[in-house]
Every structure is written in structure tokens, then in C-alpha cells.
A and B are shown apart, each in its own frame.
Chain A
Amino acid sequence: MSSKKTATFGVLVALAFIFSYVESTIPFNFAVPGMKLGFANIIVLVTLYLLGSKEAFVISMIRIILVGFTFGNLNTMMYSLAGGLLSFAVMALAKRFDGFSIWGVSVLGAIFHNVGQVAVAMLVLQTSALIGYLPFLLVFGIISGVVIGIVGAELTKRLRVILKV
């Protein structure tokens, strides 16, 4: 791994970490559990487009583990992990499929992040009642996904010039 790549990785992990922190300081509680703004996903998305899926996967996992130990616990980490893994897998596939722009990839990532978290909650609580939350999570996933897609597209464009990757 070149020193430039190491430095880029460090900056991206730090950014994802800070975005998670900023998100945790915003009191954002709608009636539905599992709703997230998903700031940190901006970094995963940008990494996916700038460096590739392997790199994005590493950033996503490091972020979840760091944030889990710093601001959460093993319990919250399990939910983040489920959401993060599912969202990453879907985004990587959608990007490879090549039919989507960064917007669509971002929307799919946001939606599946929410779906993954609700799925784990349903497994933990052994109930299907939580499916009632899905409509809210889907609609919210579209909105946050589009916003993050716009930010991600702008960032990718600019970072590509700065980092020369």
C-alpha cells in the first residue's frame, strides 16, 4: 500500500467517524425507530466511487467498529453492522450493474440500511409487527438517499481533482 493510499484511507476513516459523531449530536427522533440521516454513508459512497468497492467495504467496517466502541455498545453495533453490510452489498452491486448513477446507488444504500436494521430488530424481538414501520423507513430512505447522493456526487467530483485518483 502506497503512503498516499494510507493517508487517503486515514482521512476518509476520520471523516466517516466525525460524520457519525455529528449525526449522533443531532436530536433526530421521528416516530419511527431506525431512521437515520446517514451522514457517514456519504464517505462510504464517495470511497466506492473514488477508490473501489474493497476500499469502501474496509472504510465502512472500520467506521462501524470505531463508532460502536466510542458512542455505542455491542448491541447498537450489531444493528449498525447489519445495516452497514446490507447497504454496502447493495450499493456495490448497484454500482457494478452500471445502470444507476450515484443518486440511485445512494438511495438503494439508504433504503437497505434501514431494512437491514429493522430485519435484525425483528429477529431479536421475534416479531413481524415491526413491518409496519417499513413504509416510513422506505420513504425516508428515498429522501435521505437523494440528499446524500447529491452531496456525494459533488464531493466525488472535487475530491477526484484534489486526490488525483
Chain B
Amino acid sequence: MKKNDIIVIVLVAFLALGIGGYYFATRTESKNAKVVIEVNGQLYKEVNLYEDQKVEIETSNNHKNVLEIKDGYASMVEADCSDQICVHQRAIHYNGETIVCLPHLIMVTVQSDEEYSVDSVAN
């Protein structure tokens, strides 16, 4: 092992720590967060993060995913794809967190409704 190897490892570790720490420190949760489901870049459905339910997502090429929303956390519980990566992703809760299903081009994001309330106050 050479000195440069160590330098690269330490630098990358700090970079990871920095990005991770930044995300952890700046993450926010909001009482009226919504779950935005997009398929192929198009808005599919928006649901409340605090209304327990199961959402079936059907894509145009006959694929199906099931998103479960429970106790303020959203997770993918079913997907008829081969890799099942989205099913294994952890539940999302904080603003900006995402679950992606690459084979079906599905993206689920938690978004706060705060922008809208600011707008309504301004109006």
C-alpha cells in the first residue's frame, strides 16, 4: 500500500462523511408532507404521507408496483421487476427522500407542502 492509496481513501471517506452529514443535518420533516409518485418523469399521483394506505402504481407497459404508506413512512412493498431493489430500499419519511424503481422508471419522493402555505400567505 502506498501513501497515495491512503490519501484517496481518507479523502473519499471525508467526502462521504461531509455529504452524509450535510444531508443528516439539513433534513426536515413536515406535518403536512405529501408523497409524490412520478412515472417516466410524469406526475402519477400525490398522496398524504400521514394517511395510511396502499397505492397501486401501474405503468404504461403493464408493470405494477405497490407503495405502502404507514405511520408517516412510505415504502415499496411490491414490484414485478427482476431486481427488487426498490422493495429493499428503506422507508422514506423526511422531505426530499426518494425511492426509485429504475426498471419501471418510477420515482417516489417525500415533499413538504410548506412552499404552498408560504404562497397562500403571500396571496
Contacts and interface: CB of A to CB of B under 8 A. Distances in A.
B16 interface: yes
Given A33-B86, A139-B16, A127 B5 contact: no
Given A121-B102, A134-B19, A31 B4 contact: no
Contacts of B70: none
A135 B4 contact: no
Contacts of B88: 29-31
B16 A134 contact: yes
B2 A100 contact: yes
Interface string B1-28: 1101100110011011101100100000
B12 A101 contact: no
Interface residues on B, range: 20 to 34
A130 B100 contact: yes
B31 interface: no
A29 B85 contact: yes
A33 B1 contact: no
A136 B21 CA distance: 12
B13 A139 contact: yes
Contacts of A101: 1-2, 5
Given A104-B2, A107-B5, A107-B8, A33 B16 contact: no
* Chain A to chain B: the 7 pairs with minimum beta-carbon distance, closest first: A104-B5, A135-B20, A29-B88, A138-B16, A135-B16, A31-B90, A99-B4
Interface of A: 29-33, 75-76, 79, 99-101, 103-104, 107-108, 111, 121, 124-127, 129-132, 134-136, 138-139, 141-142, 146
Given A31-B89, A100-B8, 6 more contacts: A100-B5, A101-B2, A107-B9, A125-B41, A130-B98, A138-B15
